[in-house]
A = this chain, B = another copy of it.
Amino acid sequence: MNFNVDEKLLHGGDYNPDQWLDYPDIIDQDFALMKKAHINTITLGVFAWSALEPEEGHFDFSWMDDIFARMNQLGGNVILATPSGARPQWLSEKYPEVNRVDERLQRHTHGFRHDHCYSSPVYRAKVKLINTKLAERYGQNPALAMWHVSNEYSGECFCDLCEANWQRWLQAKYHTLKALNDAWLTSFWGGTYSSWHQIKVPSQLASTKIHGMALDWRRFNTAITIDFFDAEVAPLRAANAAVPVTTNFMAEGPGHDFIPLQGLDYGAFAKHVDLVSWDSYPQWNNDYEPLAETAMKTAFVHDTFYGLKEQPFLVMESAPSRVNTPVAKLKRPGVHALASFQQIAHGSEGSLYFQIRAARANSEKFHGAVIGHDGSDDTRVFKEVAAYGARLSALAGLRKAKRQAKVGIVYDWDVLWAQHREAAFGRDRKRYFQTLEDHYAYFWQHDIPVTLVPVDHDFRQYDLVIAPMLYLMRPELMTRLRAYVSQGGTLVATYFTGIVDEHDSVYLGGWPAPLQETFGIKLGEFDSVYPDEHNHVDFAGQQFETHDYNQLIEPVDAEVLGRYQDDFYAGSPAITRHRFGQGTAYYIGPRTKRDLLNVLYASLPVVQAELARLVAKPNPAVSIQSRVGQGERTYFIMNFSSCPQTISLARPLIDCESHGPLLGQLVLTPYRVVIAKERA
């Protein structure tokens, strides 16, 4: 099994020979070109169920056998997909229950990929069968490096089977209806349940106004997705427990944002995979932000997926050039290697693409591919991919090399969901992940590594814990945070912290005591203002504009670092610091732009200790990230701008590619990446 024994970083991506079975010349050509492009890995079989089982119970693995044989010949890896992401037509037709019921309670026919019911016993049985066949046939194949289970799990189903599972899940969680009614406060608007069967799925024809239910529905949807995933995995593990299992997670970009998928709790899901992988499609060289901003957001998502297991991950898909979006812009020359090395720098075990060969029709026909419709190796895209492949294959010692961060940003999908669900204070203005990015930005710009830490992880290893907007908090988290600070940690929190319990129900009797103790404050009124309204805070001798939210603070024994300047609460505290036990806790009352956060973070002793590690003066257009393994620290020095940029190294490094020394001033041409190392 190559993946475990091979020390090479992976290079390759999705390959769909099942679209080309009538074109043997093209498959031959593909393999010749893959070799030329230094491709060592293909992801095979995504959406191939129809090709593997064209009629119910009639299987055809011959074409897949051929591809495995070719990959073994090449000495490469196969990441083998289970095909559940797209049902065969005969399956949808014969067993309609496998298709989803939508939010209008209408059953879909076949047609959409990713549109299967996670509850359907028929679907589970059919998936088990095809997965078992694949596992038995290829589980011991030397080319098999990893399992890619299904594809981009997402969405939800409102069918009767899911409704029954929902009710069972609730019953297992709450045991009694009284407990559920209390947790959800169903007496509000008089909806007290008197039987489990009354609890409908929250379709558009049923209730969608109970916040606790909405939150539980999201949790249930994560649970049923993971349960389906686990069922998919069982036959794979049975065939060969040594082959690692993953499924490709996603990010999404509402508007100009780029953040992790909001629909599933990847923190919970990550516990079920051996390796986190994800599909990365940022919009490079867009017209709405500098390239470095795009790079920062992408780094944030990389560090989120790294943090899920606090281990290296894998970019399972990325675009060799244009992305299939409304503006499908070409990657500029040099950006491909830049974006790809950034993946490695943040902990990816390789760079995989969607797609190796461009499909000739349908939704993604113009999505970038290593091999275009012309089948040529004389295109800019092919040449940049091949050059990157050559550079990648020359790097050693990076597999399993870890990131080392002393700064953790603690976050939670429950918080995301609960905040977003709340209509007051502006549903679309909450911007939870985007606010985390605002805090993250300072560190990225100063080349200080950060890990995004799910709230149930042990965060004591981090010198600085940043926990913005932890609106929903369980008591045990309050206790852990208090202990973290009292034992010497530095904690930064903000408005919208510790307001509701796990049922999205407001804590009674004022802000919870552990938080009051930790931060040395009580909370006053919370002012939500109009988009064009601003207060100001004086802090560190400067004035900063606030927007959206101003939390008033009543200090108990905290120091006041900043005060509001305007409106009826002018002069009242806005930012506080509390020395508590061995540590320090900061509370930021208003939402501000990054300017204030930058000044605050620059002032923290734990941050100052991290600064100037490698360069005296960070260049905000140049990102320096590193991984540590086998006694070495490897730096990726990346110019995220279309102009030359200069940095000054504080001490000499070895260039990993020229093997010569690097020291003093380093001038990076546009988009250039320098890879260098030192003893760790």
**Given the known A-B contacts A111-B207, A211-B362, A506-B361, are A190 and B104 also in contact in the complex, defined by CB atoms under 8 Å?**
no
Q: Which residues of B contact A200 (CB under 8 A)?
A: 109-111
In residues 140-181 of chain A, which contact B (Cβ within 8 Å)?
none
> If A188-B362, A192-B51, A192-B54 touch, does A327 touch B530 (CB 8 Å cutoff)?
yes
- How far is B425's CA from A270's CA once the two chains are assembled, in angstroms? 35
Q: Which residues of A are at the interface with B, using a C-beta cutoff of 8 A?
A: 16, 18-19, 21-22, 47-51, 54-55, 83, 85-90, 92-93, 102, 104-113, 182, 184-195, 197-198, 200, 202-203, 205-212, 286-288, 322, 324-330, 332-333, 358-367, 373-376, 379-381, 422-427, 429, 500, 503-510, 525-533, 567-568
B326 and A427: CB pair below 8 A?
yes
Q: Please, which residues of chain B bring their CB within 8 A of the CB of A376? A: 510
Q: Which residue in chain B gives the minimum CB-CB distance to A358?
A: B506
Establish whether residues B88 and A190, one from each chain, have CB atoms under 8 Å apart when the complex forms. yes
A533 partner residues in chain B, CB cutoff 8 A: 287
With contacts A190-B50, A198-B89 known, is A205 near B359, CB below 8 A? no
**A373 touching B326 by the CB < 8 A rule?**
no
Assuming the A-B contacts A90-B194, A210-B362, A425-B328, are A105 and B106 also in contact, with contact meaning beta carbons closer than 8 angstroms in the complex?
yes
CB–CB A89/B510 < 8 A: no
Min distance, Cβ A558 to any Cβ of chain B, angstroms: 19
Central interface residue in A107, A210, A500, A506, by most chain B CB within 10 Å? A506
* With contact pairs A50-B192, A205-B108 given, residues A329 and B527 touching in the complex (Cβ less than 8 Å): yes
Which of chain B's residues have a CB closer than 8 A to the CB of A504?
Answer: 361
Of all chain B residues, the one with the shortest Cβ separation from A362 is: B188
How far in angstroms is the closest Cβ of chain B from A311?
31
Contact B326 A423 (CB under 8 A): yes
Contact A19–B327 (Cβ < 8 Å)? no
Q: CB distance A509 to B375 under 8 Å?
A: yes
User: Which of B288, B380, B427 is the one whose CB lies under 8 Å from A525?
Assistant: B380
Q: For A365, what are the chain B residues with a Cβ–Cβ distance below 8 Å? A: 211, 422, 424, 505-506
- Identify which of A182, A190, A525 gathers the most chain B CB atoms within 10 Å of its CB: A190
Chain B residue numbers with a CB within 8 Å of A333 are 568
**B residues near A363, Cβ cutoff 8 Å:** 188-189, 209, 211, 423
User: B531 to A287, Cβ gap below 8 A?
Assistant: yes
Which residue on chain B has the smallest CB distance to residue A205?
B108
Chain B residue with minimal CB distance to A90? B194
* Contact between chains at A106 and B205 (CB < 8 Å): yes
Interface SS of chain A = loop
| Contact, CB under 8 Å: B47 / A366 | no
Residue of B nearest to A203 (CB): B109
Whether the Cβ atoms of A426 and B326 lie closer than 8 Å is yes
Contacting pair A205 B102 (CB below 8 A): yes
Contacts of A324 in B (CB 8 A): 423-424
| Complex Cα gap A197–B504 (Å) | 48
* Chain B residues within 8 Å of A525, by CB: 330, 379-381
**Is B568 within 8 A of A528, CB to CB?**
no
Report the nearest B residue to A286, measured CB to CB. B530
- Pair A505/B360 contact, Cβ less than 8 Å: yes
Of the candidates B55, B288, B503, the one whose C-beta lies within 8 Å of that of A361 is B503
Task: For the complex formed, measure the closest distance between the CB of A155 and the CB atoms of chain B, giving whole angstroms.
Answer: 15
Task: For A210, list chain B residues within 8 Å (CB).
Answer: 362
Query: A93 to B193, alpha carbons, bound, how many Å?
Result: 10
CB pair B373 A89 closer than 8 Å: no
Q: Choose among B93, B190, B212, B508 the residue that contacts A113 (Cβ–Cβ < 8 A).
A: B190
Partner of A187, one of B19, B373, B507: B19
Rounded to whole angstroms, the CA-CA distance of A585 and B52 in the bound complex is 48
- Which of B85, B89, B568 contacts A332 (CB under 8 A)? B568
Instruction: Note all chain B residues with C-beta closer than 8 A to A359.
Output: 185, 188
- A109, B193: Cα distance in complex, Å: 13
Q: How far is it, in angstroms, between the C-alpha of A525 and the C-alpha of B373 when the chains are bound?
A: 12
Say whether B110 contacts A184, CB under 8 Å. no
Contact B86 A191 (CB under 8 A): yes
Query: Measured between alpha carbons, how far is A334 from B577 in the docked complex, in Å?
Result: 32
| A322:B508 contact, CB within 8 angstroms | no
Of B88, B106, B328, B529, the residue contacting A194 (CB under 8 A) is B88
Please tell me if the beta carbons of A361 and B211 are within 8 angstroms of each other in the complex.
yes
In the bound complex, residues from chain B placing their C-beta under 8 Å from that of A567 are 332
**Interface hub of A288, A330, A364 (most chain B Cβ within 10 A):** A330
Separation in Å of the A38 CB from the closest CB of chain B?
Answer: 22
7 pairs of A and B residues whose beta carbons are closest in the complex: A111-B207, A287-B530, A86-B190, A47-B190, A185-B361, A50-B192, A361-B505
A334's closest neighbor in chain B, by CB? B568
User: Contact check: which of B192, B206, B366 meets A424 at CB < 8 Å?
Assistant: B366
Given A108-B206, A327-B426, 14 more pairs with CB closer than 8 A: A86-B191, A89-B191, A93-B198, A111-B202, A111-B205, A113-B209, A189-B362, A211-B363, A287-B530, A326-B426, A326-B429, A327-B425, A361-B506, A363-B423
Q: Which of B106, B286, B379, B503 contacts A104 (CB 8 A)?
A: B106
Q: A531: which B residues are within 8 A, CB to CB?
A: 287, 327
Q: What are the residues of chain B within 8 A of A360 when measuring CB–CB?
A: 185, 505-506, 508
Give the nearest-CB partner of A359 in chain B: B188
- Residue of B87, B191, B358 near A110 (CB, 8 A) is B191
Residues of B within 8 A of A322 (CB): 424, 528
Contact, CB under 8 Å: B329 / A529: yes
Q: How far is the CB of A336 from chain B (nearest CB, A)?
A: 13
A661 to chain B, nearest CB (A): 32
> Nearest-CB distance from A333 to chain B (Å)?
5
Residues from chain B with Cβ under 8 Å of A325 in the complex = 423-424
Cα distance A459–B657 when bound, in Å?
Answer: 60
With A530-B287, A568-B333 as given contacts, are A188 and B423 in contact (CB-CB < 8 Å)?
no
A90 near B506: Cβ-Cβ < 8 Å: no
Determine the distance from Cα of A205 to Cα of B423 in the docked complex, in whole angstroms.
30
